[in-house]
Chains A and B, each alone.
Chain A
Amino acid sequence: MEPMKEVILMSKLKAITKKREFRTFLFLVIIFVIVGMVNSEFLSINNLQNSLKSSLLYIVLAIGLTFVLLTGNIDISVGGTLGLSAAVSGLILKNGGSIIVAILVAVLIGALIGFINGIGVAKLNISSFIMTLGMLEITRVIQVIYTKGQWVENLPTTFKQISQVKIFGLNLLIIIVAIGVILVQMYLSKSEKGRYFSAIGDNTDGAILLGVPVQRYKIYSFVISGICAAIAGLIFASQIGFISTTAGMGIEMTVIASAVLGGVSLSGGVGTVVGASIGAVIMISINSALVYMKIPAFWNDAISGSLLITIVVADALMARRSNKNIKKERLRARVLKPEEVVTHAHAK
């Protein structure tokens, strides 16, 4: 029976290599190898940990965004949500509030913003791009008003230390986020309700017919994205130690690119949070790779932008081709075949 086992193992391996996430991971490895060849310091444990640490908040954002993208929508308000919730909870902490309260308030803010986004998109049929773009601007302004245009500085050290705690030599937050990614992935791919999200983006009419409460789950996806953005805000505050009025500015582009790079489709239905997380690590790695290769940092945006466009265009082209083929096949099947004409005559 040994060869049997081997066959199964081989076919499993093959199935894994076919996954989009695997390709993303390969891409990540390639980046490390290439940059490592140029500058071997890039491969040091220290740098790897740092890369992972700085990608944490992007991973958290990407998890939330994946929910929204799976349903076929987009959320560009995450940067604003991040900034606002970080600023509000930062002020609470600065004024002596407890960490628990600060975290709860941040999560509530994120959930509320996500809920408003969700209502706008699911109930009022506003395009998610427009709705969340508007929300991005609104949250930015609220943040400025709330902080009176000041940076929130001098956060208590106990809070700042959270991001530095280590267990078995590993950063605690990294462990928590990694476990979180795995749990969320299990929920999305294994549980009945978790699969609703990708089903909505895959085929909305089909989902309705099979009894999926489509509107409700669209709202959920935005709420989850909002909460993730708020948690990312907390990580940001803890890691950086202060919150400027422009905290999280432009972060949405990086997160969207991360998710797409990780195999999440912008048209919905396809993607995993694992992939999106690897995508986030790639985006940050590219950033630090440039530093190690002594390339000016502003190239970063250009590279992420071209990656994003390349992937989206390739996806769109493939989708268009398969759609065209399906239509052709459908048309051909309709035509009355010569052999049917005979039975036709018989029927009379």
Chain B
Amino acid sequence: MKVKNTENLVSLENVFKSFNQNKVLKGVSLDLNKYEVISIIGGNGAGKSTLMKILTGVYSVDNGFVKIKGKEMQNHTPSIALEIGIYLVPQEPLLFPNMTVEQNINFGYDKPKHVIREEAKRICSELDWEIDLSRMAASLTIAEQQQLEIIKGLVRQAKILVLDEPTSALTFSETKSLFTVIEKLKKEGVGIFYITHRLDEVFEISTHAVILRDGKVTLKEEIEDVTKDMLIQGLLPDGSDTGYSSTYEKNYVDHTGKPPVLKVENLTGDGFRDINFEVYQGEVVGLAGLVGAGRTEIAEAIYGITSSHSGKVKLGDKDITHMGINETVGNGLSYIPEDRFLHGIFSIGSVKNNLTAQILKNQGFFVNRKEEKIVTKKYVERLRIKLADTEQEIKSLSGGNQQKVVISRILSTNPHLIIMDEPTRGIDAAARSDIYSIITDLKNIGFSILLISSDLEEIELISNRIYGIYRGVCNAHLGPEEINATNVMKAAFGTYERSDSHVKA
């Protein structure tokens, strides 16, 4: 028996929102009633957070209506939202670290302090949470901070609660106790928006599932009518299975008998655990996963930016597990972090200077001009960089060609393996396909590439093999035959069924 009280709490109608040129929400309509827990699922940049910030009055809508409890909101602000009972528990707790727990609870809340204190104590005992009210917020663990955020919302008698990935920093048992709280609140008539990446949780606690993709709602169903596969399909872009994947040839390479260029064994560190994978010569290996899944942390541990706790990393025959950056670079590893693609140029320098910047330190005190010219010529030809003259300012080149210069600079150090982190984030479509061709070219020349990307389409498009990283664990391996949009999505969301080619968990 379900209580069918259709008292409407929130009604978003055809909401549009863009930041500068970037259209984030393209006509979202969504209702929340009492006694409902609506899970909102979506990839990175789908617009979930923006939508919730509109609800809480941080952003205003460009177009469309926000109705709360039947009343249309104009000039919606965070303080109005608080007043009418909307409370957002953000993903990263927004507490005041230098205030006590109690001060955090009653900050900005217009009620006598002893009343609030009693209320907070009552809620704590009801939830079976123990938080010392006189502690400094800075001394709380992440889980306690999250609990404090939720208590803050409950003290304010929130009728509409927004939980933005609340479990991302909680342990298993803490998650369980949170779910009990959600269940209790639901029975009391609170409406909840629950944002998550974890599909299991969706089925555990929600009454409805909503999928947000590219700023639109692509699926909205009662939870009884939803399956995991439906969620995965809803997350996939339209017609992705037909795509233009054939543009980038992925000739199958047989690795049997050849030693891997990079071999990672049982690597464990902060943010990841028991990672195993190999990269062979002349292939692009993708690490597919959502932001925060631990991919960048893995790359940083391999490269030597952070240290790992246990496990082994081998580059060729050499053990590079405990090496610092200088040594790993010396041994032929190279890492292109996300912003390098965007900001990695000395914009008023010449193409030649940009290209040779990284090998300069290998020479004497004075710059060897002849050497510079030879190197520049080599890579301009090799990567087909389009330019009039090598002395040209680099910013006069097109975006794609600028990227090629950046990549040439990396190549000039002769790396065995190149790790690329989000190579196309913030880059327009034309330059994007340029980078794809460059990566494919590099592969064909014989370079090995470890590609990290949260753009699942991109990873599907250019990788020979894909490892899925979900919550710090490598849970899936897709061979060339298994790579398709659905499987990549499943791998990133941790629901891919293990296939035989997967080595071990």
Contact (Cβ within 8 A) A336 B473: yes
Contact (Cβ within 8 A) B108 A192: yes
A211-236 to B contact mask, C-beta < 8 Å, 1/0 = 11000000000000000000000000
Whether A332 sits at the interface, judged by CB under 8 Å, is yes
Contact (Cβ within 8 A) B95 A206: yes
Whether A124 sits at the interface, judged by CB under 8 Å, is no
B228 contacts across to A, CB distance below 8 A = 348
**Interface residue tally on B, bucketed by range:** 35 or more
Contact (Cβ within 8 A) A195 B103: yes
* CB-contacts of B480-498 with A (<8 A): 494-495
Selected from B97, B98, B108, B172, the residue in CB contact (under 8 A) with A337 is: B172
Whether B115 sits at the interface, judged by CB under 8 Å, is no
C-alpha gap A209/B90 in the complex (Å): 10
* CB-contacts of A318-342 with B (<8 A): 322, 326-337, 339-341
Selected from A202, A331, A332, A333, the residue in CB contact (under 8 A) with B96 is: A202
Contact (Cβ within 8 A) B103 A211: no
Contact (Cβ within 8 A) B472 A336: yes
Contact (Cβ within 8 A) B471 A330: no
Residue of A nearest to B475 (CB): A336
Contact (Cβ within 8 A) A210 B169: no
Whether A90 sits at the interface, judged by CB under 8 Å, is no
Most buried by A among B108, B169, B171: B108
Whether A208 sits at the interface, judged by CB under 8 Å, is yes
A334 contacts across to B, CB distance below 8 A = 168-169, 271, 292-294, 471-472
**Interface residue tally on A, bucketed by range:** 35 or more
Using a CB–CB cutoff of 8 Å, the interface residues on chain B facing chain A are 56, 58, 77-80, 82, 88, 90, 94-99, 103, 107-108, 110, 138, 141-143, 168-172, 200, 203, 228, 270-273, 292-294, 297, 470-473, 475, 494-495, 505
Selected from B78, B96, B472, the residue in CB contact (under 8 A) with A269 is: B96
Contact (Cβ within 8 A) A211 B78: yes
C-alpha gap A334/B142 in the complex (Å): 11
Given contacts A211-B82, A341-B505, contact A333 B143 (CB under 8 A): yes
Residue of A nearest to B139 (CB): A322
B200 contacts across to A, CB distance below 8 A = 343-344, 347
Contact (Cβ within 8 A) B78 A344: no
Whether A102 sits at the interface, judged by CB under 8 Å, is no
Whether A270 sits at the interface, judged by CB under 8 Å, is yes
A341 contacts across to B, CB distance below 8 A = 473, 505
A207 contacts across to B, CB distance below 8 A = 96
> Can you report 21 residue pairs joining A to B where beta carbons are below 8 Å apart?
A198-B96, A209-B90, A210-B78, A210-B82, A210-B107, A211-B77, A211-B79, A212-B108, A327-B270, A328-B270, A329-B141, A333-B142, A333-B170, A335-B471, A336-B273, A336-B494, A337-B171, A340-B172, A343-B200, A347-B200, A348-B495
Q: A205-B94, A331-B294 are in contact. List 12 more A-B contacts (CB 8 A).
A: A210-B82, A269-B96, A269-B98, A331-B472, A333-B168, A333-B170, A334-B169, A334-B472, A335-B271, A335-B273, A336-B473, A336-B475
C-alpha gap A269/B107 in the complex (Å): 14
B58 contacts across to A, CB distance below 8 A = 208-209
C-alpha gap A337/B143 in the complex (Å): 16
Selected from B77, B142, B293, B471, the residue in CB contact (under 8 A) with A329 is: B142
Contact (Cβ within 8 A) B472 A335: yes
Residue of A nearest to B204 (CB): A347
Most buried by B among A202, A322, A328: A202
In the A-B complex, the 5 residue pairs with the smallest Cβ-Cβ separation, listed nearest first, are: A211-B79, A331-B271, A206-B94, A335-B472, A336-B471
B142 contacts across to A, CB distance below 8 A = 326, 329-330, 333
Min CB gap B405→A, angstroms: 33
Residue of A nearest to B201 (CB): A347
Contact (Cβ within 8 A) A202 B98: yes
Given contacts A333-B169, A334-B271, A341-B505, contact A206 B96 (CB under 8 A): yes
B97 contacts across to A, CB distance below 8 A = 202-203, 269
Contact (Cβ within 8 A) B470 A336: yes
Residue of A nearest to B293 (CB): A334
Whether A199 sits at the interface, judged by CB under 8 Å, is yes
Selected from A199, A326, A340, the residue in CB contact (under 8 A) with B107 is: A199
Selected from A192, A198, A208, A339, the residue in CB contact (under 8 A) with B98 is: A198
Min CB gap B407→A, angstroms: 30
Residue of A nearest to B141 (CB): A329
A328 contacts across to B, CB distance below 8 A = 270
Residue of A nearest to B228 (CB): A348
Min CB gap B316→A, angstroms: 29
Min CB gap B290→A, angstroms: 11
Contact (Cβ within 8 A) B141 A195: no
Residue of B nearest to A344 (CB): B200
B297 contacts across to A, CB distance below 8 A = 331
Min CB gap A217→B, angstroms: 12
Min CB gap B80→A, angstroms: 8
A336 contacts across to B, CB distance below 8 A = 273, 470-473, 475, 494
C-alpha gap A186/B186 in the complex (Å): 41
A1-16 to B contact mask, C-beta < 8 Å, 1/0 = 0000000000000000
Min CB gap B272→A, angstroms: 6
B110 contacts across to A, CB distance below 8 A = 192
Min CB gap A198→B, angstroms: 7
B108 contacts across to A, CB distance below 8 A = 192, 210-212
B141 contacts across to A, CB distance below 8 A = 329
C-alpha gap A112/B97 in the complex (Å): 33
Residue of B nearest to A189 (CB): B103
A212 contacts across to B, CB distance below 8 A = 108
